Amino acid sequence: MSDDLKRTVVWKNLLLDGRDYCGLWHTAEGWLLKGTVVGVLKDQRPVLATYEVHCDENWLTHRVQIERTIGGDVKTLNLSVESRGVWQSAGQELRNVRGCDDVDLAVTPATNALPIRRLNLQVGSSESIITAWVKFPELTVQPLSQRYTRLSKDTYRYESNTGFSAEIVVDDLGLVNTYPGGWERIGSL
């Protein structure tokens, strides 16, 4: 099976005053989210980030690569999930995120598609999960409790234990259309 591009999206990133270009691919392995973010941090420093999230057919995360550049400061993070829920980085197990099925990259709304697709909630249903949250621009990994509630065919309430919540609207592939205060889709193909 050759890789099949399902959709490309450009989001306006309201948090970084920038843009996020993302492609969703169906691959022989399963699914791939691949994107590039360009923006400006709160302190006016320009930032560039690239990411790849590889999942199996059931939307379980297997590999994550992210690189961010701020001036001459380049930082990379490579994660792998060796067996269900055992996360590794640089050959070391990340025990604090053991058991997580999904990665949540703070720099993009693309990873919201992972639990939305994996959980496949019915309207009115909700489920709590714990993700491996990659904070940005630090690229540190920590567990983040989240809850997704499907409000309608294309609308979900997202809540995290940080106290943040938002009603996000997605397309038929689970990719964000609008994420109040975070991202707005400005192009799609």
Q: Return the pLDDT at 1.
A: 62
Among the listed residues 117, 183, 128, the one whose alpha carbon sits nearest the alpha carbon of residue 158: 128
Q: Based on the structure, what is the number of domains in the chain?
A: 1
Beta bridge partners of 96: none
Q: In tens digits, what is the pLDDT along the chain, a chain of 189 residues?
A: 679 999 999 999 998 999 999 999 999 999 999 999 999 999 999 999 999 999 999 999 999 999 999 999 999 999 999 877 899 999 999 999 999 999 999 999 999 999 999 999 999 999 999 999 999 999 999 999 999 999 999 999 999 999 999 999 999 999 999 999 999 999 999
Number of alpha carbons in the 13 Å side-chain half-sphere of residue 181: 5
Model confidence, pTM: 0.96
Contacts of 87 (CB under 8 A, 6+ apart): 79, 80, 81, 93, 94, 97, 98, 100, 132, 141
Residue 176, domain extent = 4-188
The amino acid present at 127, given as its one-letter code, is E
106 to 28, 30, 124, 136: CA distances (angstroms): 27, 23, 26, 6
